[in-house]
Chains A and B, each alone.
Chain A
Amino acid sequence: MRIVSCVTDPYEIPVLKKIGADEIYIAYSKILNYGEAMSFKSLADVISCVKLAKKNKLKIHLAANGIASKKETITLAGMIGDIKKIIDIGIDGLIVSNVGILKIIKKERINVNLHLSSVNPVFNTYALDFFHSNFGLSRVILPNQLSARESEGIINYAKEKKIETEVFYFKFFGCPYINGFCYMHNNSLYTRNIKSERGLCLLGKGSKKARIYSFNNNINPSKKIIERVMERVNFGGSPRILNVSSFFDFYSMGVNFVKYGSRTDSSNLKFYKVKVIRKAIDRLSELTAKYDLSEAKIRFMESFK
């Protein structure tokens, strides 16, 4: 399993290489990317990153996985033109989610490796087949709301079609709401009484706990369920599927890459997290070489207790 790390400053590249990243990805402000955080503002920066990546023998990909944009200046023609320029510079892959972008890339016969982003999550083999048959994928990034065992069909299909697979690291990405489709943070559909950046998934943080009532007046749900809903509504939503067990299973099923993608993290935090992931993968490699899978899994999980 190899590591893909985000990069938001060219100087991070040789450091990440030394720490153990195998590939990197960047975002450019003129290319629609999810979150739009810490995107490089100039093409010169993008060129710098590509050159440094090549010098350090790292593959480099470009995030083009935005669905919405606050910038009305990004036009279809403009963005496709920029994508073509960046491909000519030597980017190795494009991370995409929008069906419209995929369609145009195909129509214009733009020759680039396509990675399907988790922002357009694939939860079943038919969905992966839809995208691969229609647009031709090189890689699929699995959503963190799908366990390894649930992904078996998808992973087998990907292996058969020679599509690389990528997952997130379980400790650094755990939102239970469907990525790319969630309105719990963007304030568009409700009116804030208290100004806050926090999403509605954490109602109890920083304020009085939310209260829960039965919607149906003549029904009294059990105390156990009320408490469960209360806890989840106030403190971060429903259970996480991408746990340590699932991560081990992804590794043993041969998933090719693990992504670390918090672009808003400082450089030092990025270095720390990539080191953590590298350590985990090295540990997995060591354990699976020495023990059978069930023993290796027990020992791996123990390291996180």
Chain B
Amino acid sequence: MEYGIKLNYSDLKNINALGEKLKKYDWVYFGSEFCENLLDLYSDADNILKKFKNKKICFLTPIITDRYADKLLYIIKKIFYTNNRKIEVTANDFGTINILTGRFPEVKINIGRHLSKHFFSFKKDAIKFHTEFSIYAAKYFKELGIKRYEISGYNKIPKTNFHKAKKIDFNITMFYPYTLLSTTRTCLIGLNDIKPEETIEKIKCNKECLCCDYVVKTEKIKEELIVSQNSTFVKAEFDRNMEKGLSKIKVDRIVFSVSP
């Protein structure tokens, strides 16, 4: 089992606070997993990398529009050459996959938590390929060199239907303890209201989400929701004791998220 830690931008600013704890992680995940408006923060990704000299690196990328495609390419190029061409990139957009397979064929691409929903359905106690077509899609992606899927965490070993895909070689990275529910391009936090007659050239992000995340308590459900950047999560308990069983469901890497 490999161990990773996901660091948001504010975590990266306070890296010293992690201190010795960082040693136990093989992988550092950083980047903007869900929101393209925060990609700017990682323009100096090469400097960020210097803080993690002995770690394996995975750069997280979100859904992108044309506006940020060049920025994304710029950042990936920096990381790629700074880190001696050894990086993984998590893609949550088919456009990103197209860019990477075309221009950086050496980069290992992972299917991120948002895009994994195209392949898998998630329940509290199960993760399954949606249909035989999803398995066929995974087979096609394997031909493209993509065989790692990222998912959110569980508090016990989930049921799967992976036996139906035994001919496909794939692996799973499990992020914990925040389970992704939904993502939006216009976030709940850092964006002014849009008037009906307003011409939208681009999303005018105020980056107010960097201040903090929000806990939502509602009588409708047992769990608390967490609104972070442009996504909504629930917190899942993650029992480290179930690690041994995770390999049976193709999980060979678990990633702890310091914040959602």
Contacts and interface: CB of A to CB of B under 8 A. Distances in A.
Interface of A: 32, 66-69, 74-76, 79, 98-101, 103-104, 120, 122-131, 145-150, 152-154, 176-178, 180-184, 188-194, 196, 200-201, 203, 207-208, 210-216, 219, 221-222, 225-226, 228-229, 232-233, 237-241, 243-246, 249, 301, 304
B107 interface: no
25 contacts: A68-B130, A69-B130, A98-B134, A99-B118, A100-B139, A103-B136, A124-B93, A126-B95, A126-B98, A128-B95, A145-B186, A146-B185, A147-B199, A149-B202, A178-B182, A190-B181, A190-B222, A192-B222, A215-B214, A221-B208, A225-B189, A233-B188, A238-B184, A244-B196, A244-B197
Interface of B: 63-67, 69, 93-99, 114, 117-118, 121-124, 130-141, 179-202, 208, 211-223, 225-228, 230, 232, 234, 259-260
A213 B214 CA distance: 6
Contacts of B225: 190, 200, 210, 233
A99 B189 contact: no
Given A183-B122, A243-B198, A153 B66 contact: yes
A192 B200 contact: no
B98 to A, nearest CB: 4
A154 B182 CA distance: 24
Contacts of A219: 211-212
A215 B194 contact: no
B108 to A, nearest CB: 18
A131 B213 CA distance: 35
Nearest to B92: A181
A226 B214 CA distance: 9
A76 B213 CA distance: 42
B200 A120 contact: no
Nearest to B188: A232
Nearest to A301: B197
Main secondary structure of the interface of B (DSSP, over half): mixed
Contacts of A192: 220-222
A214 B133 contact: no
Q: Find the residue from B67, B131, B136 having the highest chain A CB count within 10 A.
A: B131
B216 A124 contact: no
Nearest to A232: B188
A215 B200 CA distance: 31
B182 A183 contact: yes
B214 A212 contact: yes
A103 B259 contact: no
Given A103-B137, A150-B200, 10 more contacts: A100-B131, A100-B138, A125-B69, A153-B66, A189-B122, A219-B212, A229-B188, A238-B188, A240-B194, A245-B197
B66 A150 contact: yes
10 closest pairs, A vs B, by CB? A126-B95, A100-B133, A127-B95, A100-B137, A100-B136, A215-B213, A147-B200, A210-B218, A76-B132, A239-B194
A245 B96 CA distance: 29
Contacts of B135: 100
Main secondary structure of the interface of A (DSSP, over half): loop
A176 B194 CA distance: 12
A180 B115 CA distance: 10
A146 B202 CA distance: 9
B69 A126 contact: yes
A74 B208 CA distance: 46
A245 B216 contact: no
A298 to B, nearest CB: 9
B21 to A, nearest CB: 18
A258 to B, nearest CB: 17
B212 A243 contact: no
B187 A238 contact: yes
A226 B116 CA distance: 31
Contact of B228 (A181, A194, A215): A215
A210 B184 CA distance: 19
Nearest to A120: B118
A298 B136 CA distance: 49
B122 A213 contact: no
B44 to A, nearest CB: 24
A128 B220 CA distance: 39
Nearest to A129: B98
Contacts of A127: 93-95, 98
Nearest to B64: A124
A189 B225 CA distance: 11
A32 B232 CA distance: 28
B219 A125 contact: no
Contact of B194 (A79, A146, A177, A241): A241
Contacts of B137: 98-100, 103
Contact of B208 (A103, A149, A194, A225): A225
A229 B209 CA distance: 10
A32 B179 CA distance: 27
Given A98-B137, A126-B96, A200-B232, A208 B189 contact: no
Given A214-B215, A239-B186, A243-B197, A99 B223 contact: no
Contact of B181 (A184, A210, A246): A184
